[in-house]
Chain A
Amino acid sequence: MTTTDESILKEFLAEALDHLDGIEDSLLQIEGDGANINEELVNKVFRAVHTIKGGAGFLNLQKISQVCHAQENILNLVRNRKLVPTNPVTTTLLITLDTIKGLLLDISLEAAADVSTELARLNTILAAAEAGMNESQMASNSGPGGAPAERPLKDSVSDDQLDSWRRKGFWVFEFKIDFSDPKSYGYMTGDSLLSVMEKTGTIIASSMPINDLKVRLGKGTFEDVPVDLLYASILEPDLIRQMLRLPVTDIHQVVSQDSKASTPAPAPVPKAGMVSTIPSPTVSSPIVVSIPVPPPGEVAQHAVAAEPADKIKVSLSVIDNLMSLAGELVLARNQLIQSVSSKDIEAIDRSARQLNFITSELQMNIMSTRMQPVGNVFNKFRRIVRDMGQKLGKHVQILISGEEVELDKNIIEAIGDPLTHIVRNSMDHGIETVETREAIGKAAMATIQLVARHEAGMVVLEVSDDGAGIDAARVKRKAIEKSVVTAQAAEMMTEKEILNLVFLPGFSTADKVTDISGRGVGMDVVRTTFAKLGGSVDIVSVFGKGTTLQIRLPLTLAIIPALMVKVADMVFAVPQVNLQELVRVAPDQVKKRINRVGDAVFLRLRDELLPLLSIREILKVKSYFTDPITGEEREDKRQFWDRRKTDEEVSEEIRNLRQKTGDRRSRMGGSVKIAVVTTGHIRFGIVVDGFQDTEEVVLKPLGSHIKECRFYSGATILGDGRPALIFDISGVAEHWLNIATLQDARESISSKQTTKEDVQALIILKGGGEQFYAAPLGLITRIEQVDAKQIEKVGGKVHMQYRNAIMPLYTVDGIAKVEALPEQDFYYVVLFKMQKKDVGLIVAEIVDTVETKAIVDQSAYHQNGIMGTSIIDGRTTFMLDLYGIAVGQNPELGHTPVVAQVAGSVETKVLVVDDSLFFRTQIQKFVEEAGFKTLTAEDGVQALEMMKDSANVISMLLTDIEMPNMDGLELTRHVRDLPQFKNLPILAITSLMGSDAEKRGLEAGVNEYQIKLDREKIVDRLRFYHKVK
């Protein structure tokens, strides 16, 4: 094969595979539409198949061409509404498409491949459909049918003329048509039949002059005489037959004697004799399917593994952008060179800024060429779910959202397999059989949801099902049986940790091995795959309710956002994907909040005991300090960094001395800085000396000698040219956290733990005029300190550039009557999400975070953007309504299109239960704004009564946990005892997030936990449950 041929072949393969991907989705949709054909869609599939056939024919790939041809026939019937695309029809089409795909992926097999089974399958369908069709046609059309007529017409045209038609790629036919009875062909008038013929081909000769025929047809004075026609068309015989709906016996292909010249395309048509009757597909005896139906997942995997060419499609606009950026870059460089030579500092500063801007633009543009929508992967699952559902006899629908979220090509290619594994697991083990589901009162149709979204600079993928969930007790039993953990250790694990055991190698809870899953390999591979991509995976499951796997992935492999931290004089990077929050423990809190048990150290973080690792300790970095008395450098010999004396314990004298000498112990004041990180599997804190900026760092690989220590995933180069190492958080956890001792230690500490109250975590901010504000901490995604110059004002709207995008900014005084912000060089921007996008609130200062009972007085100061006032730490503090502030200054944010849909739907009510009037009204307000009707109750007792009284209208329950008389957990248990509420969606809303609280809630029967006042999330989930119902 010549190189040209090869490159043509490659192009063809890439294009054909592209087409196939599209076809699959469309076919599933066509199947879904049933008899209600969407012609546009069928045409699309038809065209795609036709294109593949054309290309295959051109490249002499006969097998592919044959199969495509047979598929075209069926599609044509579907298009003409002669065949309803029922499940068997689409299944056959899909399977035969798989065959084509297989052949395309390994084109060398094409010539030797045996496609007779595929052809037979397709032809059976065709024959069956035709048989039905022809019968009815024959019945009504007995007149003109019958034996082929003489061929006087053919003689009127010279062989040369016919040959010239054929050479141009036409097929020549001869047939008789009875224009007086168009209905027998399925046409309304003879006119329309003629016009179809003229559109699809050319009438070469006719037993009656065409014009004459037209006139007569127009007048409606047509004698009952069939007309003989000689007709040329580029459509193949079977297609013509179907299109003109002529009985098989009535249409004849006119083939020249020189059979080589006769057929324009290498399509499999018999070529013997002058005129051959086109063989109608014979109805063969029922075909036993001998090709093994490939498990759908394997097809997908195969497809991902064997992309034919290492190419990506980039839109021209991106290239244009890159070109213009390159131009700007050159310009900026020239400016810089000029300003450097003239030593104009201001000009240098300007050029540097310009360069900075162009570089980020360039980076973004170049990255975008590698980005692909996650839908490319997600959409494959429609087929997988459909096929598996059929195979397993389960009714499963798949809901996909966020297909437009983009990830690096490499990541997109790598996540197919693990996601397939997860979905298969859900289908096989997660989702119950229809009978079981019905028996326990679940909807027979199960749901698998695939979601992709952006979160904190990462992409989160979620695969959730509403199946049986994972039985933690069984996982525990199995884990002990297989000695994955010891019985004692297992006893002390939280439910979440137990669930995470499924990610360990060799672990499978499936009682029997099926051909789909349960071989005991898999989930560990799933986890490793995601870990390799710099991501993490987490599992949440409620026994009886369903399972959710949450996968966090970086947008790209090459550049990752990371927090730079300082340890001694070294700078390290902590990947953002692992980072959850930063905690600073004030010196006087160290003793109270940090506990040491044996070798393990814990931080009390809200209601959780978080294991801590000191990077200094692990890295064995020696620390030095200046002796306050002698002034000499001495090695710090303190063994326990957490044994910090509080200020009161240190004598006044020493304290003064330390402050004077600038001793480290007074400077770092003993405040402990902790980055809370997660591997998805385990959460822990790393203790560092200081936090620096977050940066987008370029990941560089490390040499093989360093890789072995499993502590770093790579290195990057800092702005000053020095390398900085990037922590490999899962490596750190694996090698330095001793799970067993942690469990012991946790047990010993948790027994001393105090009970908690219904407190709200708030962040205290300062605005203009020394006014203090408070906002729920749970809603805030980030805090940035920004230079006042970075804040831009355009068209009366304030915004700043943030992570290469424009982020709208708001102020409290922009909506509420409070004092304006003071003039400052630096401001703080508190980031939160509106419609999944980052927006920011500008404040003068960040004061503190507090956990308080938050008794809010709504009577005074209640205005737009401010919910009310509260006394926090002795100060009157305005409680901010972040959403109100954002919507007030940008009304578009308040209106989501979904609102209207929900509002117009079935009348159901959401019961909101909270003892605090403040929270109750707030929640009620935003739930109603989202289009739901609400009922409210003050406590569990009242709520339960209401549930019993108006059982029919309550469709969802939103309840607080901590309440007098009857708390949310007890309420949930009571509600679940009522038969009609077994499947009622119950959302616990709490200000306390923590695995313990969550566990108790889930055990009581709550569907999920959400943070109070996280309006978007709560509404989102309400809509989700609403939709599922």
Chain B
Amino acid sequence: MSTTTEAQANSKTVVRDILLFNVANTLCGIDVLLIQEVRKDFEITPVPLAPDYVSGVMNLRGEIATVFDLGLKLGLQSEMDPKLRKVIVLKNRGGEFEGLLVDDVADVMQITGNDVNSAPGHLTSVKPEFVEGICRQDEDLVALLNLHVIFEKK
């Protein structure tokens, strides 16, 4: 009963750590609690016939992780040399390992619910439905991504 309101109140004040990263010159962020690790030395094996936003699979210490081209999925075109990119490894709800191919990992920033604004569509180049909210870091706008919506299967 009161837990929901408490939770809401908490979400306003509780401090969350957000990992910031760049995808095609767009600053995005996801909660660090979702993240297993960030890898910079990796080899992606392409998977022909898979959806275009799937870059391939990688060997994550004996498990097979699917690597997604986050930029492509968000509708952005990255010009980064693939060799210099990084992979953010997550574990999804089904317990599968997933990797997000991003251009660069920037920083970790702390935010509270008060810092997050609902996303006005025109503020970033990311499709509005993929964005949970917008927050500010110095001069830049950070798009907090809603991964569940992004990787929801139709």
Query: Interface of A with B (CB < 8 Å)?
Result: 570, 618-621, 700-706, 708-709, 711-712, 714-715, 717, 721-725
Contacts and interface: CB of A to CB of B under 8 A. Distances in A.
Contact of A709 (B50, B59, B63, B98): B50
A596 to B, nearest CB: 23
A721 B61 CA distance: 9
Contacts of B57: 702-703, 706, 715, 723, 725
Interface in B25-62: 43, 45-51, 54, 57-59, 62
Nearest to A718: B59
B82 to A, nearest CB: 16
Nearest to A568: B48
A701 B64 contact: yes
28 contacts: A570-B48, A618-B48, A619-B48, A621-B48, A700-B63, A701-B96, A702-B64, A703-B64, A703-B66, A704-B94, A705-B50, A705-B66, A706-B47, A708-B51, A708-B153, A709-B50, A711-B48, A711-B49, A712-B47, A715-B64, A717-B62, A722-B45, A722-B59, A723-B57, A723-B59, A723-B64, A724-B45, A725-B45
A711 B94 CA distance: 21
Given A618-B49, A704-B94, 19 more contacts: A570-B46, A619-B48, A619-B49, A700-B62, A701-B96, A702-B66, A703-B98, A705-B54, A705-B151, A706-B47, A706-B54, A706-B57, A708-B51, A709-B49, A709-B50, A715-B57, A717-B59, A723-B64, A724-B45
List 7 tightest A-B contacts by C-beta distance, closest first.
A703-B66, A619-B48, A700-B64, A709-B49, A715-B64, A723-B45, A706-B50
Question: Most chain-B CB neighbours within 10 Å: which of A570, A618, A714, A725?
Answer: A725
Contacts of A706: 47, 50, 54, 57, 66
Question: Most chain-B CB neighbours within 10 Å: which of A620, A705, A711?
Answer: A705
Contacts of B54: 705-706
A712 B49 CA distance: 10
A200 to B, nearest CB: 61
Contacts of B151: 705
A570 to B, nearest CB: 7
A70 B151 CA distance: 62
A466 B110 CA distance: 76
A618 B98 CA distance: 26
A726 to B, nearest CB: 11
Nearest to A618: B49
Contacts of A570: 45-46, 48
Contacts of B63: 700
B19 interface: no
Interface in B64-102: 64-66, 68, 94, 96-98
Contacts of B43: 721-722
A714 B94 CA distance: 16
A725 B47 contact: yes
A563 B50 CA distance: 22
B65 A703 contact: yes
Nearest to A725: B47
Interface of B: 43, 45-51, 54, 57-59, 62-66, 68, 94, 96-98, 151, 153
Contacts of A724: 45
A352 to B, nearest CB: 19
B8 to A, nearest CB: 32
A803 to B, nearest CB: 23
Contacts of B46: 570
Contacts of A723: 45, 57-59, 64
A708 B97 CA distance: 17
B48 A620 contact: yes
Contacts of A715: 57, 64
Given A711-B49, A725-B45, A704 B59 contact: no
Contacts of B65: 703
Contacts of B66: 702-703, 705-706
A933 to B, nearest CB: 60
Nearest to B53: A705
Given A701-B64, A704-B96, A721 B47 contact: no
Contacts of B51: 705, 708-709
Nearest to A702: B64
Contacts of B58: 723
A574 to B, nearest CB: 15
Contact of B59 (A619, A621, A721): A721
A724 B47 CA distance: 9
A725 B44 CA distance: 12
B47 to A, nearest CB: 6
A647 B119 CA distance: 66
Nearest to A572: B48
A325 to B, nearest CB: 20
Nearest to B68: A705
B96 A703 contact: yes
A621 to B, nearest CB: 6
A704 B51 CA distance: 11
Nearest to B48: A619
A717 B59 CA distance: 7
A687 to B, nearest CB: 15
Nearest to B65: A703
A703 B100 CA distance: 13
Nearest to A711: B49
Nearest to B50: A706
Contacts of A621: 48
A704 B54 CA distance: 11
B41 to A, nearest CB: 11
Contacts of B47: 706, 709, 712, 725
Question: Most chain-A CB neighbours within 10 Å: which of B59, B65, B97?
Answer: B59
B95 to A, nearest CB: 10
Contacts of A709: 47, 49-51
Nearest to B96: A703
A722 B68 CA distance: 17
Contacts of B97: 703
A721 B54 CA distance: 20
Nearest to A567: B48
A593 B1 CA distance: 76
A704 B98 CA distance: 10
Contacts of A717: 59, 62, 64
B59 to A, nearest CB: 5
Nearest to B98: A703
Nearest to B95: A701
A626 B48 CA distance: 24
A712 B58 CA distance: 15
Given A619-B48, A711-B49, A717-B59, A705 B153 contact: yes
A558 to B, nearest CB: 13
Nearest to A701: B64
A620 B49 CA distance: 8
Contacts of B48: 570, 618-621, 711
Question: Most chain-B CB neighbours within 10 Å: which of A703, A708, A715?
Answer: A703
Given A709-B49, A709-B50, A725-B47, A704 B64 contact: no
Question: Most chain-A CB neighbours within 10 Å: which of B50, B151, B153?
Answer: B50
Contacts of A721: 43, 59
A277 to B, nearest CB: 68
A204 B46 CA distance: 87
Contacts of A618: 48-49
Given A722-B45, A723-B64, A704 B153 contact: yes
A620 B68 CA distance: 20
A198 to B, nearest CB: 67
A564 B109 CA distance: 47
Contacts of B59: 717, 721-723
B150 to A, nearest CB: 11
A704 B94 CA distance: 9
Question: Most chain-A CB neighbours within 10 Å: which of B45, B94, B96, B98?
Answer: B45
A617 to B, nearest CB: 11
A708 B151 CA distance: 14
A568 to B, nearest CB: 9
A665 B39 CA distance: 40
